[in-house]
Amino acid sequence: MSDLRATAAKALDRIVRGASLRAVYAEAVREVGDPRDRALLAALLHEGCRWWLRYDAALDRLLERPVRKREPVLHALLVLGLVQMAVMGLPEYAAVASTVEAVRALKRPAFAGLTNAVLRRWLRERATLDAALDADPITRYAQPEWLLQALRADWGNAADEILVANNAAAPLVLRANRRRSTRDALAARLAGAEVAAHAIDHLGDALALEHSTDVTRLPGYAEGEFSVQDGAAQLAPELLDLHAGQRVLDACAAPGGKAAHILECADVDLLALDQDPQRLPRMRENFARLGVTARVQAGDASAPDGWWDGNSFDRILLDAPCSASGILRRQPDVRLHRRQDDLPTLVATQARLLDALWGMLVPGGRLVYATCSVFNRENAQQVAAFLTRHADATALPDGVPAWFGRPAGAGRQNLVGENGMDGFFYAVVEKSA
């Protein structure tokens, strides 16, 4: 177990320095055989990222000479030691002992005494330290100042609810593959394996699991009976209003979840496009497991001359690159990596994609614009600017069902945790015939 925490500390240090949590975990977990240890490693990394800004700051209060710069992996291990006790609720004695042993596993035995002293000081002074950390919104919510300010500018009093929701673990939601099963049949099969799940209102294919687990070990996974997908993302095919024989473009398709759902819902001619060629093999693997077929192609949706054959599309889905501000609970490393300066570039990219794709849509066709963002400049304001630029574009406010989130300009915005779902925005736009 000490080696596991040493592995987690090295991985967390890499993530804090800019690596993706998902990629680092995929690499680190190869060293871990026991499924229970894999689950603990995932929990350590997710909670370590989620609460880094709080317990990184706590160490400045606990250490006379911080080790952040001279021993960064040890610093990450100390953060994890605090997280185990303060967030994960692991037994205090076990958390302290295993963290001290991990120091030795990291070949830093000289720091074993320091580690023991720091963690035990936290236990003695926890009430006072918690009060000091809670006094500052940045350390109370463990989210960067620019994010707090942006949320309050857009959502006022609701911002604190979003900040709290960002720190809750996201539910694990499955999407039944209606070409191979049904939601009820999948629920029954899971129940037979003693896996508890419940249906999500308004979504015909969605099942939320009561407890997170390794989905690849669930019955039906290998047979392609389901995928993992948050409920908010499962709304896309309904908004597209699909009919057999239509030409459909998923313009930013990787890793292919929405594209696969489209193919599960209707017999359409789908082009799954993504700018990054390295992401295409994984998308093809997902399609093969689910038993669906699409044309998969690399290309920049904003530069159609490089890939488009000139034949227009009846339906276009643009799940645009965005700040990912709506999925911090699911991808907690976003709060460590995203910067305020990223937003102007993202907004410009979204506008460029919308303008380019509009020219590929048939008259009378429908474009669905989606982001996993909660920022108005990426969502309601982006769509409003697009409608101003294109006189033949008409937004359909009723195109997104009223149960989903709240009105946001010409679309609807689901805030983090609303309806049990991620923060997500949708707008439906039709082209004049």
Please, which residues bridge with residue 394 across strands? 430
Cβ(221)–Cβ(197) below 8 Å: no
Neighbours of 389 (CB within 10 A): 11
Q: Which of 360, 405, 413 is nearest to 383 (CA)?
A: 413
Alpha-carbon gap, residue 202 to 177, rounded angstroms: 17
Token readout for 128 is 């006072």
Q: At 187, list the tokens.
A: 């629920």
Using only C-alpha atoms, what is the Rg of the chain? 23
Tokens representing 64 are: 């006379």
| 393-395 vs 411-414, strand pairing mode | unpaired
- Alpha helices for 89-234 (secondary structure H): 92-105, 112-134, 137-141, 145-155, 159-165, 183-192
Among 297, 308, 284, 189, residue whose Cα is nearest residue 252: 297
DSSP, res 354: H
The single residue listed with the structure tokens 């193919």 is 263
Q: Rounded to whole angstroms, how far apart are CA atoms 320 and 250?
A: 10
Catalytic residue among 49, 252, 322, 372: 372
- The tokens for 169 are 């673990």
Tokens 């100042």, residue located:
145
Asked about 252 being catalytic, the answer comes back as no
Residue 6's nearest CA partner among 113, 99, 89, 116 is 99
- What's the token pair of residue 130? 């918690």
Alpha-carbon torsion 139, 143, 144, 149, what sign? Answer: negative
- Give the residue numbers annotated as catalytic, written as ranges: 372
